[in-house]
Amino acid sequence: MSRPDRVVAGSFIVAILAAFGLFFVYLRGGQTQLEGALLFLTLGGIGTGLLVWAKRLMPQIVDETQSRHHEPVSEHDQEAAAETVMGGVGELKRRTFLSRLLVGAAGALGLAALFPIRSLGEVPGDTPFFTKWKRGSRLVDVGGNVVTRETLKVDSFTTVFPEGSVGSADSQAVLIKVQPELLQLPSDRAEGAPEGLVCYSKVCTHAGCPLGLYLAADHELRCPCHQSTFDVLNGAEPVYGPAPRALPQLLIEVDDDGTLRAMGDFTEPVGPAFWNITDGPA
Amino acid sequence: MTRRTAEARLLSRILRIGLVLVIGGQIVWSFRPSPGQALSQTAEQGRALYEAGCSTCHGLQAEGTVNGLSLQGSGSAAVSFMLTTGRMPLAAPGDQPMRQEPAFDDEQIDAIVAYLAEIAPGGPAVPEVDTSKGSLSDGAALFLNNCSGCHAAAGVGDSVGGGRIAPNLMPASATQIGEAVRIGPGLMPRFDEENLSEQDLNSIAAYLHWLRDNGDEGGLQLGRVGAVAEGLVAFVVGLGLLFLVVRLTGSKV
Amino acid sequence: MISKKLVEGVDDRLDASSFIARNLKKVFPDHWSFMLGELALYSFILLVLTGTFLALFYVASPELTTYRGPYEPLQGRPVSLAYNSVLQLSFEVRAGLVMRQTHHWSALVFMAAIVAHMLRVFFTGAFRKPREISWLLGVGLVVSGIAAGFTGYSLPDDLLSGVGLRIAYSIAQSIPFVGNWLASVFFGGEFPGTALLPRLLALHIFVMPLAILGLMSAHLGIVWHQTHTQFKAPGRTEDTVTGTPVWPKFALKSVGLGFVTFGVLTLLGGLFQINPVWFYGPYVPYSGPSPSQPDWYAGWLEGLLRLWPNWEFTIFGVTIGELFLPAIVVPGIMFTLLAAWPFVEARFTGDHAWHNFAQKPREAPVRSGLGAAGVALMVVLFLAGSNDVLAKYLQIEVDTFNTVLRWSAFVLPTLAGAITFIVCRDLRDRPRHPIGRPGAMTVRRTAEGGFEELHDAADEVRSP
What span, in angstroms and rounded, lies between the C-alpha atoms of C417 and C413? 6
Question: Is C461 a residue whose pLDDT tops 50?
Answer: no
Question: Is B38 a residue whose pLDDT tops 80?
Answer: no
Q: Which residues of C touch A37 (CB under 8 A)?
A: 267, 270-271
Q: Which residues of A touch B181 (CB under 8 A)?
A: none
- Residues A169-181: b if buried by 16+ CB within 10 A, e if exposed: bbbbbbbbbbeee
User: Residue A10: which residues within 8 A CB-CB, separation 6 or more?
Assistant: none
Please tell me which of the candidates C73, C291, C398 has its beta carbon nearest to residue B140.
C73
CB contact under 8 A, C275 and B230: yes
**A228 to chain C: closest CA residue:** C306
Cβ-contact C90, C118 below 8 angstroms:
no
How much is the pLDDT for C435? 60
Amino acid identity of B67?
Answer: N
Amino acid identity of B128?
Answer: E
Beta strands in C58-140 (DSSP E): 64-66, 78-80
How much is the pLDDT for B223? 93
* CB proximity A40 to B under 8 Å: no
pLDDT: which is higher, C56 or C437: C56
Cβ-contact C97, C121 below 8 angstroms:
no
Q: What are the residue ranges of helices labelled H in A28-71?
A: 32-52
Q: Which residues of C touch A70 (CB under 8 A)?
A: 226-227, 239, 354, 356
Tens-digit pLDDT profile for residues C390-436: 999 998 889 999 999 999 999 999 999 999 999 999 988 876 665 65
Tens-digit pLDDT profile for residues A220-248: 999 999 999 999 999 999 999 999 999 99
Question: pTM of the prediction?
Answer: 0.90
CB contact under 8 A, A216 and B187: yes
How much is the pLDDT for B81? 95
Provide residues of B within 8 Å CB-CB of chain A.
145-146, 148-150, 158, 160-162, 164, 184, 186-192, 194-195, 217-219, 245, 249, 251
Tens-digit pLDDT profile for residues A120-151: 877 888 888 999 999 999 999 999 999 999 99
Cα C275 off chain centre by: 19
CB contact under 8 A, B144 and C289: yes
What span, in angstroms and rounded, lies between the C-alpha atoms of B107 and B84? 11
pLDDT (average), residues B61-75: 88
Q: Which residues of B touch C77 (CB under 8 A)?
A: 137, 140-141
Tens-digit pLDDT profile for residues A114-125: 888 888 877 888
CB contact under 8 A, B161 and C399: yes
- Smallest Cα–Cα separation from A243: which of A278, A270, A280? A270
Q: Which helix (H) or strand (E) holds A253?
A: strand A252-254
Report the neighbours of A using a cutoff of 3 or more CB pairs below 8 angstroms. B, C
**C107 to chain B: closest CA residue:** B234
What part of A 74-133 touches C (C-beta under 8 Å)? 117-118, 120-124, 127-128
What span, in angstroms and rounded, lies between the C-alpha atoms of C294 and A198? 33
Tens-digit pLDDT profile for residues C332-391: 999 999 999 999 999 999 999 999 999 999 999 999 999 999 999 999 999 999 999 999
CB contact under 8 A, C116 and B226: no
Amino acid identity of C378?
Answer: M
* CB proximity A251 to B under 8 Å: no
Q: How far is A67 from chain C (nearest CA, A)?
A: 4
Amino acid identity of A169?
Answer: A
pLDDT: which is higher, C79 or B119: C79
- Smallest Cα–Cα separation from B232: which of C302, C109, C402, C147? C109
CB contact under 8 A, B190 and A155: yes
- Write down the number of H helices and E strands in chain B: 11, 2
* CB proximity C17 to B under 8 Å: no
Per DSSP bridges, beta strands C357-358 and C230-231 are parallel
CB contact under 8 A, A209 and C292: yes
Compute and round to an integer the Cα radius of gyration of chain C. Answer: 27
Of B138, B164, B228, B237, which to mutate for an interface test with C (greatest number of C Cβ within 10 Å)?
B228
CB contact under 8 A, A215 and B249: no
Tens-digit pLDDT profile for residues C293-325: 999 999 999 999 999 999 999 998 899 999 999
Among B91-100, B112-121, C45-54, name the most confident range.
C45-54
CB contact under 8 A, A156 and B160: no
**A72 to chain C: closest CA residue:** C354
CB contact under 8 A, A35 and C30: no
